[in-house]
A and B are shown apart, each in its own frame.
Chain A
Amino acid sequence: MKLLRAEFQNFRMLRDLQLEFSIDPNTNLTVIRAANESGKTTILHGLQWALYGDAALPDKGEGFRLHPIDWDEREGNRVPIIATVEFELTTYRRTSGEVRETRRRYRLVRSAFEEVDGGTRRFDSTVKLFALNETGASPIDAPEALINDELPPELREVFFTDGDRALSFIEADVALSTKRERVQRAIRSLLGLGVVDGAIKHVRKSAAEVNKKAKQVGGSDQLNSIATRLEAMENNREKLETDLEDAKQQFSAFDEKVDEVDREIAAALQKGDKVKLRKDLENARAEISQLDSQLAAANKEHSALFRGRSIATGLLTPVLVGAFNTLEELHNQGKIPNTTIPVLYDRLEAKVCICGETLVPGNPDGDNRRAHIQKLIDDNQRADEIQEIITDLYYSTKSLQGGRGAETSAWQEEFKKVVERRDGIQTLRDEAGRKLRALEMQLDSLPDTDIQGLRETRRRYKDLRDRYLSKQSSIGTQLTGLSREREVLEVERDRLLREQKRGARILAELEVTQDVMKILKSAYQRITNEELRKVSELMNSVFLEMIGADPEQGSMIQRAEISHEFDIIVYGPNDRTLNPDRDLNGASRRALTLAFILALTKVSEVEAPNVIDTPLGMTSGFVKHSILRTAVRESTQLILFLTHDEIAGCEEIIDESAGLVFTLTNPVHYPKMLVNDPGVSERRVVRCECDHRSDCQLCLRYEDVQFEL
């Protein structure tokens, strides 16, 4: 298919716009120059809407307005929206041993109405297709089928690419199986595997029909029995293949779900894991409780220090020293302890004084002395109570006097330790309190995402995914066994048919279906293996050329390939795998996607347009030139929407390759960006014939004036 022209009416800001596209094989490039907000992406949407309907619009058209946003209701509440696309199809048919090429032109018109009173309501679009010929246009029935056959919806992103989002084959936001499926679907579709696959299925049914006929030949019970078994096996194979397909789909579906939940978990975890936070909160509370106990114990210990003897000794030492000295003095003087009275009584009893004089009663000297001693005893008895207290004091404080200094320093040491320990615990307690508060606040601010629940869901999906993977392999084994068994039985059946007179014709039918099947299967294998390898190799060379990477010179990117599992893989030095999302810059990612799209289109030899919006964004210098040059070379029809900045520096390539260049302008850019007043009040895209090197009154922009200056 080649796009010839397009026309839009009331499609967003394309109120009335016609576009033509170059189909000259030598100048296959059409450049539509347009600044930002000048209708580039709208045209991309418009072309896809014309071909595929609402399904091709963002969010499948849900809430996507089609009519101009500044539609004047005085013009009516019912806005007609029309998109027309004219294209050329080339078909090849093999007739009389020759492949013949036929070119036909068609016009596709899609129209819809939107009611704009208050809200917007869109009625289902209608599509009409006309075959164009010299005499006019003849309508064609079921246009969708023809479009779906020529430009299958699964290839929409191959033919219509938004440069800024051209990453669907490598983006990280989708599951690996989804990316694989997209790549596989694009390859299968563009290389025509679906058609060959369909043919294989139909021919297999034909073979099964012929096998049924073999049962009716008669004459051999064995033949009948083998044909019956083959019939049963065919039914079994069909069932197994349906189951296999179902298992594959289920696997992909659950793989996608696992990936989805992974993303949800990652997003929630980025904000915080509520379950983990709750656990942390619990731990913080337990830690606080433990610290509080330790603190209480330390406080007790602290207060116990003040009740102990050592603090008293320590504090009272300066006061007590005098008392101790006095007591010591009294002791030294023999005043304490009091031992006088017993000695005096003893002397009175013995009637002899300590000095040896007589104390005999009746003897005047003795009586005098005895009276004196009695007086001493009486005096002593009066002082005895005080003396007793002092004596007790002297002996009871003896222990205090002994270690006066040591006791004080021990208390101070202990005090220091207790205080340090208590202060340490208090610091930990304060920290734990702050931590607890922070956790509480973090927890309060978290949305109510049940991460534990999500993990459980993930585990369930993963189990189901793995189950379907294992089912696939089990069915695969059964099919292989069945196929071997069938081959053996088929040989035997054919041998028996040869023995029957009526069997020759059926045998011929079987041989034909087997030969056709063999051709189709080997074609399928060839396309799957060889053509995939070709796409992979071409993608690699186009990609390396676009980004100017030279593996010989030790470039960071060494090569890119499409694996047998349909993964697009990029390799760095030492065959290290690079993640396109993380390890490649924006320009390289864009180049990789474009390289895949171009390689696929080229290898399939499909004549199809590559319509790309802002393909050179995020690129500059060599890479920019290289992407443009390579895209022009590898595409059969290249339609590029380029901003002035993207064009800058690429003028010579456009000079050489473009068959058509024109400019689109949005009048609302006056007076800020446009130099001259276009004289259009409404938001609409207007076209002028200015190419990449020229400007006119309508499209002249301030940046162009500055650039020229």
Chain B
Amino acid sequence: MPLNDRKIVTIILEQCDGIEERCDGYKEEIIEVVSDILEFERGHRVSATNIQKKINEKCNAAARFLATRRSQSTGTEEMNS
């Protein structure tokens, strides 16, 4: 993260409040994704990295988490019904 790490982290965390909790633990997952992306950006500035690949993977992992939770929840609902 750049010179004002603390400030940006605080602001980003505040903005996460407005995100829909799409599944249990989703918001926390997204906070981690955003924090990591900013970390990647900072690292990328100091030393060029394959940042796009890293971000794609990060988003992909969060999507897998969301999809899995959703399917689990649907399964539970189906079992309950």
Contacts and interface: CB of A to CB of B under 8 A. Distances in A.
Interface in B25-81: 28, 30-31, 33-35, 37-42, 44-47, 51-52, 55-56, 59-60, 62-64, 66-67, 70-71
B2 A195 contact: yes
B52 A519 contact: no
A166 to B, nearest CB: 21
A350 interface: no
A151 B19 CA distance: 33
A417 interface: no
B35 A509 contact: no
- Classify chain A: how many residues form its interface, as a range: 35 or more
How would you classify the secondary structure of chain B's contact residues: helix, strand, loop or mixed? helix
A688 to B, nearest CB: 35
Interface string A172-216: 000000000000000000111011101100110110011000000
A686 to B, nearest CB: 35
- Classify chain B: how many residues form its interface, as a range: 35 or more
Given A203-B59, A523-B12, A604 B7 contact: yes
Contact of A516 (B34, B40, B51, B52): B34
Contacts of A99: 6, 9
Contacts of B44: 198
A198 B41 CA distance: 7
Interface in A71-93: 91-93
Given A92-B1, A205-B52, A519-B16, A511 B66 contact: yes
A519 B8 CA distance: 12
Given A99-B9, A519-B30, A523-B8, A608 B59 contact: no
B49 to A, nearest CB: 11
A504 interface: yes
Contact of A518 (B5, B9, B18, B60): B18
Nearest to A141: B47
Which of the listed residues A195, A196, A518 has the most CB atoms from chain B within 10 Å of its own CB?
Answer: A195
A505 interface: yes
Nearest to A209: B56
Contact of B63 (A150, A191, A511, A527): A511
B52 A93 contact: no
A149 interface: yes
Q: Which 8 A-B pairs have the closest CB atoms?
A: A509-B63, A92-B5, A508-B63, A508-B67, A508-B66, A145-B46, A605-B7, A512-B62
8 contacts: A92-B1, A190-B3, A202-B41, A505-B63, A511-B63, A516-B59, A518-B18, A519-B30
Interface of B: 1-9, 11-12, 14-16, 18-20, 22, 28, 30-31, 33-35, 37-42, 44-47, 51-52, 55-56, 59-60, 62-64, 66-67, 70-71
Given A92-B9, A195-B45, 6 more contacts: A149-B42, A210-B59, A504-B70, A512-B59, A512-B62, A512-B66
